[in-house]
Structure 1
Amino acid sequence: MEAPNGIIIFHYPFSPYARRVIRYLQLRGLAYAECMQPHIMPRPDLSALGVAYRRIPVMAIGRDIYCDTRLMLRKLEEQFPQGALGATGGEHKAIQHLLNRWVTDGGVSMRAVGLMPPSLPILQDPKFLKDRQDFLGRPLSKETIEQGRPEAIVALRDAFELLESTLLADGRSWVLQTEGPSLGDIEAIWPFDWILDMAGALPPEIISAKQFPKVFDWIQRFRESVEQAQASGSKAVKLDGEAAGKLICGASFAESGGKIDAADPLGLELGSEVEVWPLDSGSSHHDKGKLVSLTWDEVVLATKAEKWDAEVRLHFPRRGFRVARAASASAKI
């Protein structure tokens, strides 16, 4: 069994972040393999690869393992340029980047997650709530979810209003005025597309097609495009953890390393023992290894998949992550 294009996605079905990457792959027609994961820790398939990072999805291309969907989409654009969906320059590229930061860094995505109805079966599971409390670093219960719901509704209504009254106000089909959905649409749409599948998440008297017809029409067009792409494309190859690990550790590296930006303020050298962790969620899980590359927008470290006695490389974006020498990284954030 092989991984098409060397791509393996570790995820679980209801992750909105995984959905973002899967939708991208489907629209591109890029064949891939997937290794399904538990929705709570532990995840032994990833631990066996030397990955401490606890967020989902995780993507491997060959022996390079990518963490954070912002980095994954960029790497898929770069490594598979034929048929890429991203803008190439000018105003459209700027809008694409701003949509990325507005939705992911600006809080839209987390507000959408905050609209999960407290009655959902998964929110009745104490193990899930305990796991997400560790993930978020703050108390989590059905009560705290209910308490936060009014603010989440206000924030998401504001996001719908922004799209309705600006980018989509002129009646365009796609945010960058392309013939079909582009990376700009994917950057903007994923939390809205995800939350609309959840019955009871949005109060219809506040957020519905009646108040925001252009946004709802846009989401429907996007879904139809995904369905058409799915119908004409190949299905994901299913892998268990053992098969995925063997394929990754037996592959070549997708990228070369060895680059350090001389002016980087951290003053780290190639081969330095470092650790990397996210600053917003999952921050108690630190990945450690030898520094392979450090640029203004990415950090790469080498670690070992002990089970297969193979080196793998973990890639993280700089934005939203902290990099430190291993000896000093235990300090409080």
Structure 2
Amino acid sequence: MRHTIGEALKFQQHQRTAPRKSTGSTLPDIILHHYHTSPFSEKVRLILGYKRLAWQSVLIPQIMPKPDVVALTGGYRRTPFMQIGADIYCDTALICDELERRYPTPSLYPVEVPAGLVDTVAQWADNQLFWWGAIAYSFQSKAMAFIFDGVPAEIVKAFAADRAAMRAGAPRTPAADAAGMLRVYLQQIDSMLARTPWLLGQTPSLADFAAYHPLWFVRRITPLADILSSTQHVLPWMDRVAAMGHGTPAKLASADAIRIAHDTKPEAPAGEWHDEHGIAAGEPVTVTPLDYAFDPVAGDLVAATAKSYALRRFDERAGEVVVHFPRVGFKLEKAH
């Protein structure tokens, strides 16, 4: 299947059961801001399918400028992010936590597996497997020729400049080293699947979705996808994950998502205050990613739990919104 910049990939939705609609309940609608070829978006889309949820789909640009995104997030530019009313959730680790809190059945944390083990494998997959395996392997010359086949030169140039700004000069892994690392990771995953259908046992967990999306990206790059056949169990497992589908998405314009935020009050901050910085509630702060896309988001700190931060900010179009970040992978500072 063709995998190019600016071309929407078709994805087949395999419904396990009738979708469970979130519309009409006492809970707000889920709005996912994403684009079709985003690996981390695929992670969340499949979790929405696993939980059989209806959701609103806002397609966003793959590169800057993203004025509607900035209106909601205050500058956070990674994909995806989730909106529920006037609350904006950044980073898929936090999005998954929030979906699990609001929609706990079926759970991403099987009772027979320690939650800490699930989270540890998921963090490994989102970082080591994704960056040092899948992405390093995928961004080599013959893959780039496939991905950008038929794309106008000015779009290729803009994409390259956008991603270079996100990487901020970080060196790329040589193709041979990336291939070797990815093979090691595939063997590790394969060994986990040798006796059970899912990575951590008889039931899917967050670990499966986190490990799937980097390999989903590789699988769509035809010249490189054969590496996945080097193991016995990985491809059948990937097919089982993909069969969960994406729930029930409904298209929503980005302007309508901004209007929803403007017309909705953020939820009251929840969770015990956990101070590591000497910053009090209400103080102006910034939150910045630590690994890439170093775009700070400024606002007033309204929550600092053991796992997350929340900033209240105001936008002319979106009104009052609260933007949520996980602690892991992000830096909190007093605004200068």
Closer/same/farther in 2, CA of residues 208 and 72 from structure 1, 3 Å limit: closer
**Distance in 2 between residues matched to 1:69 and 1:100, nearest whole Å:** 11
**Distance in 1 between residues matched to 2:125 and 2:221, nearest whole Å:** 19
Is 1:260 the counterpart of 2:260 in the alignment? Answer: no
Is 1:133 the counterpart of 2:155 in the alignment? Answer: no
**Distance in 1 between residues matched to 2:271 and 2:119, nearest whole Å:** 27
- Would you say the 8 A contact 2:265–2:320 is kept in 1? no
**Distance in 1 between residues matched to 2:314 and 2:228, nearest whole Å:** 49
**Distance apart, 1:265 and its partner CA:** 2.6
Superposition pairs of residues 18-97 of structure 1, within 5 angstroms: 18-88=41-111, 91-97=113-119
Equivalent residue for 1:296, pick from 282, 292, 306: 306
TM-score under structure 2 length normalisation: 0.83
**Distance in 2 between residues matched to 1:139 and 1:173, nearest whole Å:** 37
- Would you say the 8 A contact 1:49–1:306 is kept in 2? no
Q: What SS does structure 1 have at the residue aligned with 2:236? A: helix
**Distance apart, 1:295 and its partner CA:** 1.9
Equivalent residue for 1:272, pick from 280, 283, 308: 283
Closer/same/farther in 2, CA of residues 82 and 219 from structure 1, 3 Å limit: closer
**Distance apart, 1:32 and its partner CA:** 0.6
Q: What SS does structure 1 have at the residue aligned with 2:317? A: helix
**Distance in 2 between residues matched to 1:148 and 1:243, nearest whole Å:** 43
- Would you say the 8 A contact 1:260–1:269 is kept in 2? no
Number of aligned positions between the proteins: 302
Is 1:217 the counterpart of 2:236 in the alignment? Answer: yes
**Distance in 1 between residues matched to 2:73 and 2:108, nearest whole Å:** 32
**Distance in 2 between residues matched to 1:254 and 1:40, nearest whole Å:** 30
Q: Percent identity?
A: 29
Equivalent residue for 2:130, pick from 101, 109, 127: 109
Superposition pairs of residues 241-260 of structure 1, within 5 angstroms: 241-257=254-270, 259-260=272-273
**Distance in 2 between residues matched to 1:314 and 1:208, nearest whole Å:** 37
**Distance apart, 1:51 and its partner CA:** 2.0
Closer/same/farther in 2, CA of residues 258 and 70 from structure 1, 3 Å limit: closer
Q: What SS does structure 1 have at the residue aligned with 2:202? A: coil
**Distance apart, 1:50 and its partner CA:** 5.0
Unaligned runs of 5+ in 1: 328-333
Corresponding residue for 1:330?
A: none
Corresponding residue for 1:173?
A: 197
- Would you say the 8 A contact 1:258–1:292 is kept in 2? no
Closer/same/farther in 2, CA of residues 243 and 208 from structure 1, 3 Å limit: closer
Q: What amino acid does structure 2 have at the position aligned with 1:244?
A: A
Is 1:315 the counterpart of 2:334 in the alignment? Answer: no
Equivalent residue for 2:148, pick from 121, 124, 142: 121
**Distance apart, 1:160 and its partner CA:** 0.4
Q: What SS does structure 2 have at the residue aligned with 1:301? A: strand
**Distance apart, 1:152 and its partner CA:** 1.4
**Distance in 2 between residues matched to 1:133 and 1:85, nearest whole Å:** 34
**Distance apart, 1:257 and its partner CA:** 4.3
Closer/same/farther in 2, CA of residues 94 and 49 from structure 1, 3 Å limit: closer
Closer/same/farther in 2, CA of residues 74 and 139 from structure 1, 3 Å limit: closer
Closer/same/farther in 2, CA of residues 82 and 173 from structure 1, 3 Å limit: closer
Q: What amino acid does structure 1 have at the position aligned with 2:198?
A: W
TM-score under structure 1 length normalisation: 0.84
Q: What SS does structure 2 have at the residue aligned with 1:59? A: strand
Cα deviation code 1:53-80 (max 9, x no counterpart): 1111111112110110011001100012
Cα deviation code 1:263-294 (max 9, x no counterpart): x23011000110000010101x1100100011
Q: What SS does structure 1 have at the residue aligned with 2:108? A: coil
Is 1:150 the counterpart of 2:169 in the alignment? Answer: no
RMSD: 2.3
**Distance apart, 1:305 and its partner CA:** 2.1
- Would you say the 8 A contact 1:259–1:292 is kept in 2? no
**Distance in 2 between residues matched to 1:130 and 1:212, nearest whole Å:** 36
**Distance apart, 1:8 and its partner CA:** 0.8
Corresponding residue for 2:188?
A: 162
- Would you say the 8 A contact 1:258–1:270 is kept in 2? no
